[in-house]
């Protein structure tokens, strides 16, 4: 498995991974494959242009099988330390339970260390109880409540 | 109450607000006032230089009485919509319960709308139950688990 920063050609595959998920579908995504709307290209360009944002793909035999988005957040807390925020973590639904997710997250945690981050953080829907156990096995603590306000 | 982007002169007051908190103190901050270490100036400069990061201060009669940090996150989900992440929300301990926090958060939510964000998100320590009710009154939903890994 190779992990690398996504390029434009990876965007349709990343979108399929994001949409191929029960909870995401409930939020209003349709069935896969998803058409790449102009707003999505704009978002991709914003991520690609920002040194503190990285869209990551996990690639096996030339196929995108996983993705996550990493954002590096500066902050005044803890002596001015940086933290990594992880969003939009997905592994292809046909390949879950094979350790690919753990491999991707361990790679992500190493990347946070390489960037000098003192913390890695993410939120996970309260309904994803298997995911919470998965993150706890990787060393995460469910210490916070994740609050969202849709505008 | 005035809300504005913090400048260098506000940094010591912001640090005092961050440190003046029971849970933060348990995490290893000492008593106030906190010395501004070089790493904190570096973090301030990183925030100030980044159009997607804003350190906010709430000022009353020339005194910094509240703070929060806003980060604008691009993402491929939800049609390529932006979200606002809120970190390090603090109101001066002597002024809590007077509606200043709600005023600051409503200003923050308006700012998210002005920037075209489709979501505002934050995490709050599970021990801060009063804060969770506060955010719920503002329209937030405690839909997620906030997971943290300290490196």
A37 pLDDT exceeds 80? yes
Give the pLDDT band (50/70/90) at residue B37: confident
The model's pLDDT over A113-148, given as tens digits with 9 standing for 90+, comes to 999 999 999 999 999 999 999 999 999 999 999 999
The model's pLDDT over B62-94, given as tens digits with 9 standing for 90+, comes to 999 999 999 999 999 989 999 999 999 999 988
Asked, for residue A18, whether it belongs to a domain, the answer is: yes
* Cβ-Cβ contacts under 8 Å, A79 against chain B: 37, 39-40
SS (H, E, C) B38-86: HHHHHHHHHHHHCCCEEEEEEEECCEEEEEEEEEEECCCHHHHCEEEEE
Asked, for residue B145, whether it belongs to a domain, the answer is: no
Asked, for residue B149, whether it belongs to a domain, the answer is: no
Mean pLDDT, residues A101-115 taken together: 97
Asked, for residue A90, whether it belongs to a domain, the answer is: yes
Select from B113, B132, B149 the Cβ nearest to the Cβ of A139: B149
* Cβ-Cβ contacts under 8 Å, B148 against chain A: 119-121, 140-141, 143-144
In terms of pLDDT, which residue wins out, B4 or B37? B4
Chain B, nearest residue to A10 by Cα: B76
For residue A144, give how far its alpha carbon lies from the nearest alpha carbon of chain B (Å). Answer: 4
Mean pLDDT, residues A49-76 taken together: 97
* Cβ-Cβ contacts under 8 Å, A78 against chain B: 27-28
A38 pLDDT exceeds 70? yes
Q: Kindly report the pTM of this predicted structure.
A: 0.92
* Cβ-Cβ contacts under 8 Å, A42 against chain B: 80
Give the pLDDT band (50/70/90) at residue B33: low
Looking at residue B35, the DSSP 8-state letter turns out to be P
Q: Half-sphere exposure (CA, 13 Å, Cβ side) for A146?
A: 20
Give the pLDDT band (50/70/90) at residue B29: low
Outline where chain A has alpha helix (H). 11-19, 22-26, 38-49, 77-80, 100-114, 129-137
ipTM above 0.95, yes or no: no
pLDDT value of residue A68: 98
The rounded percent of chain A whose pLDDT value lies above 70 is: 91
Asked, for residue A143, whether it belongs to a domain, the answer is: no
Mean residue pLDDT of chain B comes to 92
- Whether residue B121 and residue A43 make contact (CB cut-off 8 A), yes or no, is no
| Range of the structural domain that residue A11 is part of | 2-137
Select from A41, A55, A123 the Cβ nearest to the Cβ of B123: A123
In terms of pLDDT, which residue wins out, A107 or A19? A107
Asked, for residue B150, whether it belongs to a domain, the answer is: no
- Whether residue A148 and residue B144 make contact (CB cut-off 8 A), yes or no, is yes
A22 pLDDT exceeds 80? no
Asked, for residue A80, whether it belongs to a domain, the answer is: yes
Where residue A67 sits, what CATH number does that domain have? 3.40.630.30
Domain total for chain A? 1
* Cβ-Cβ contacts under 8 Å, B82 against chain A: 43
Asked, for residue A49, whether it belongs to a domain, the answer is: yes
């Amino acid at each position: 498995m190779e992990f690398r920063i996504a390029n434009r050609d990876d965007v349709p595959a990343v979108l399929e991974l994001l949409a191929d998920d029960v909870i995401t579908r409930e939020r209003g995504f349709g069935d896969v494959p998803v058409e790449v709307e102009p707003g999505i290209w704009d978002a991709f360009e914003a991520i690609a242009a920002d040194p503190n944002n990285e869209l990551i793909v996990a690639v096996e035999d030339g196929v995108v099988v996983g993705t996550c988005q990493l954002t590096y957040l500066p902050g005044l807390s803890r002596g001015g330390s940086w933290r990594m925020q992880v969003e939009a973590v997905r592994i292809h639904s046909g390949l879950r339970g094979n350790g690919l997710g753990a491999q991707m997250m361990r790679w992500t945690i190493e990347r946070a260390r390489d960037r000098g981050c003192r913390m890695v953080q993410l939120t996970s829907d309260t309904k994803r109880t298997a995911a919470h156990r998965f993150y706890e096995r990787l060393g995460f603590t469910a210490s916070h409540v994740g609050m969202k306000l849709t505008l």
